[in-house]
Structure 1
Amino acid sequence: MYLPLLRPIGSADFFVSGDVVIDECAAIAPGVILQADAGCRMTIAAGACVGMGAILHAHKGNLEVAAGAIIGAGVLVVGTSKIGANACIGACSTILSSDIEQEQVVPAGSVFGDSSRHKVVTPETPTDTPVAGPKDSVEQSNPDVSETPANTPESTDPTPDADASDTTEAAAEVPAQPQTPTHGQRQLNRLMLTLFPHGQSLNRNVQNGPSTDGT
């Protein structure tokens, strides 16, 4: 929490206005303003301590600071209030027409009695409420469409899958690869006669039988 810096006090005196009663054993720091409106009264008991720059203003009633109470620097007390004995109010706090109990500790920067500030309560989402997902949104937007389980007879589609038919057509369009012919002994003999017409390969024709061309 950010707390503003206190400005240095140029004077060791404090300001008093109206019906203000200060015990001689109370400690009042420099720069303190003690003010009581007409018909109101402020009393500061023995042992009380009011910090530097604090403002105490009795308005529409009495303001009482009990014995041993400590009011920090920069504290603002306005209205009808009673600061209990040995109570401690942190620096830069604001007390508006509110009582501080005996030995109560008020953290620095606190605000008491300000009814102009209302706490905004955000409603919490119930934990047992299901959160709509993408599937739920589709079902809500199409209430007439009913989902049929995949394992029921109604879900069986006799029409072949479009992807399967496309695959069959693509396979049919692929041209057939030419088959490599298998050469036998006769074709080999003919090849040898062509390459070596005067060679000894002619003698093999008698053993292997006549060739297809009658030679």
Structure 2
Amino acid sequence: MYLPPLRTISNSDLYKSGDITIHPSAAIAPGVILQAAPDSQIVIGAGVCLGMGVIINAEGGSIELEDGAILGAGVLIIGKGKIGANACLGAATTVFNASIDSLAVVSAYSLIGDTSRQVANLPEAESYPKIESQVETKSEVETKTPSPEIEPELTVEDEVTPQTSENTPEPQPEVISEAEFEEVSNKFEPESSSDSVGSPVVGKVYINNLLLTLFPQRQSFGDQNQDEQ
């Protein structure tokens, strides 16, 4: 916002109108206008300082400037109210039907007591949920997010490796009973022949039978030799 600079006052006289009381120790700059309506009053206390071009217009009540109050150049006070002791109002400040506390400092170009512009009352902070409760921190999100389970990769060695000996049953040796053993041994015993002069040797017969079993073609060769003889 553009704020124009204060202009110098060409009229150095003090203008007073109405019921106005000024303490002798008050300092008033040139160009000050003090005006009070018929039913109003302006009271300026001791040690009050009014800057150049200050305008005070009392209406509907009294305007009182307590001891030591300072009004900067171009200050405008309208209506009724009180300026506290040792309060300081910056240049070009406007006060409309309002009071200023003692030892208060008002910055320049301020507007106080204007009821024509109302600021909408904001709802209480309780109606708005806190952002911290809605937004989760990064650490909480990471803890709540389940990490994907990583399955172990199967290598070629794992696929080719046979099962352990614990799962593979060991072959049980066959148990031959005594009766079966005798039956088998009887098969290889030589039959008694009346034509034979003496009983053949048991070991030799067993070996011959074993050779015939393993090499059946040996018998055919033996028969051919007998025929040739």
TM-score range, shorter chain: 0.5 to 0.7
Amino acid at match of 1:116: S
Residue 69 of structure 1 corresponds to which residue in structure 2?
69
Query: Which position in structure 1 is the counterpart of 2:13?
Result: 13
- Cα RMSD after superposing both structures: 2.2
Give CA-to-partner distance per residue, 1:104-124, whole Å, 9 cap, x none. Answer: 111111111101112357899
Per the TM alignment, residue 100 of structure 1 is displaced from its structure 2 partner at its CA by 0.5
- Higher-Rg structure is 2
User: Which residue number corresponds to residue 101 of structure 2?
Assistant: 101
Question: Which residue number in structure 1 is paired with residue 42 of structure 2?
Answer: 42
Q: CA offset at residue 2 of structure 1?
A: 4.1
User: Is 1:3–1:92's contact at 8 Å kept on the other side of the alignment?
Assistant: no
TM-score (norm 2): 0.52
Cα deviation digits, residues 82-102 of structure 1 (max 9, x gap): 001100001111101111011
- 1:3 and 1:101 map into 2 onto residues whose CA distance is 26
> Secondary structure of 1:57's match?
strand
Q: Deviations over 1:57-81 (max 9, x none)?
A: 1110000001100011111100111
SS where residue 78 of structure 2 aligns? strand
Once residues 4 and 14 of structure 1 are traced to their aligned partners in structure 2, the CA distance between those partners, rounded to angstroms, is 24
1:83 aligns with 2:83: yes
* In 1: Cα distance, 2:82 partner to 2:122 partner: 35
Shift of 1:12: 2.0
What is the letter of the counterpart of residue 117 of structure 2?
Answer: R
Between the aligned partners of 1:101 and 1:121, the Cα distance in structure 2 is 24
Please name the residue that 2:115 is paired with.
115
Q: After superposition, where does 1:185-196 map in structure 2 within 5 Å?
A: none
4+ runs of 1 displaced by more than 6 Å? 121-126
Question: CA separation in 2, counterparts of 1:120 and 1:58?
Answer: 30
- Superposition map of 1:124-163 within 5 A: 127=131
- Gaps in structure 1 of 5+ consecutive residues: 131-215
Task: Provide the TM-score with structure 1 as the length reference.
Answer: 0.55
How far the C-alpha of 1:13 sits from its partner, in A, is 1.3
C-alpha distance in structure 2 between counterparts of 1:82 and 1:122, whole Å: 29
Please list every run of 5 or more consecutive structure 2 residues that lacks an aligned counterpart in the other structure. Answer: 136-229
Per-residue displacement from partner, 1:16-58 (whole Å, max 9, x unpaired)?
Answer: 1111111111011111110000011101011000111111011
**2:38 counterpart of 1:58:** no
Partner amino acid for 1:46? A
Q: Deviation of residue 5 (structure 1)?
A: 1.5
Q: CA deviation at 1:3?
A: 3.1
Could you tell me which amino acid in structure 1 is paired with residue 26 of structure 2? A
Q: Would the alpha carbon gap of residues 2 and 88 (structure 1) be closer, same or farther in structure 2, given more than 3 Å must change? A: farther
Question: Partners of 1:122 and 1:2 in 2: how far apart?
Answer: 29
